[in-house]
């Protein structure tokens, strides 16, 4: 009995590591100069938070720190299309994962989204570039929720009239992306 009581006391007093958490954490990191990518990031977060037991953490590339990445079970990246490429601040952030932070990204679940000004402005190329960088770091990538259509991530056309900003359909895709990554990350944790 005495040993049992000691065991309970020790267990209760054990420090809880900052990395231990019950919920599945999905980190959403975006770069945004004029607000479109940020708006998509917030919709992605809504999708994550709609999944029971999952929590979204939304940060810009300027705010995110190494611990955010360490804690995340899933990571969703958003960059605008800049000349059909990932915007430089997002690329710099990704380049730091291994060479600066020496992070183990293995088996974290990844997804990506991208707004671009025009209809064929490289959005899909940017999404695929982000997913490739994740795969190169040992992550597992997934797309939105559609079961029958081949989609790689969420995109938007923001600067071509009459289609200005991110519309409701595009935001709905962002929510699906967040939901999917949260669910797959939950399964990976099990």
Which residues here bind ligand FMN, judged by CB under 6 A?
A: 32-37, 80-84, 115-118, 121-122, 158-159
Q: Which residue has the tokens 């490429």?
A: 85
Q: How far is the CB of 47 from ligand FMN (least distance, A)?
A: 18
Cβ 105 to ligand FMN shortest distance, Å:
24
Helix axes 88-99, 123-136, angle to 10 degrees: 10
Token duo for residue 137: 């770091």
CB of 119 to ligand FMN, least distance (A): 8
Nearer to ligand FMN, 23 or 159 (CB): 159
Instruction: Report the C-alpha gap between 113 and 156 in whole angstroms.
Output: 8
Q: Which is nearer to ligand FMN, 107 or 167 (CB)?
A: 167
CB–CB of 41/30 below 8 Å?
Answer: yes
Nearer to ligand FMN, 84 or 140 (CB): 84
Query: Min. distance of Cβ 83 from ligand FMN in angstroms?
Result: 4
Chain mean position to CA 55: 11
Cβ closest to ligand FMN, residue 115 vs residue 178: 115
Q: In sequence order, which ranges of 14-74 are alpha helices (DSSP H)?
A: 36-49, 66-71
Q: Which residue's beta carbon is nearest to the bound ligand FMN? A: 121
For the record, the structure tokens of 164 come out as: 């200005």
CA distance between the termini of the chain: 34
Residue 110 or 115: which CB sits closer to ligand FMN?
A: 115
CB of 46 to ligand FMN, least distance (A): 17
Q: What is the three-class DSSP state of 31?
A: coil
């Amino acid at each position: 009995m005495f040993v049992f009581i000691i065991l309970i006391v020790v267990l209760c007093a054990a420090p809880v590591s900052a990395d231990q958490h019950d919920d599945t954490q999905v980190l959403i990191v975006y770069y945004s100069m004029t607000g479109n990518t940020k708006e998509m990031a917030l919709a992605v977060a809504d999708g994550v938070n709609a999944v029971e037991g999952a929590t979204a953490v939304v940060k810009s590339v300027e705010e995110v720190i190494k611990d955010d990445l360490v804690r995340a079970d899933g990571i969703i990246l958003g960059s605008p299309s800049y000349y059909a490429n990932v915007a430089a601040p997002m690329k710099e952030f990704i380049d730091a994962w291994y060479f600066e932070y020496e992070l183990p990204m293995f088996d974290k679940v990844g997804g990506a989204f991208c707004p671009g000004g025009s209809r064929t402005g490289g959005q899909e190329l940017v999404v695929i570039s982000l997913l490739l960088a994740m795969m190169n770091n040992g992550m597992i990538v997934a797309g939105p929720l559609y079961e029958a259509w081949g989609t790689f991530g969420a995109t938007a056309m923001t600067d071509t009239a009459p289609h200005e900003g991110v519309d409701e359909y595009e935001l709905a895709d962002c929510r699906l992306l967040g939901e999917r990554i949260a669910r797959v990350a939950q399964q990976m944790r099990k």
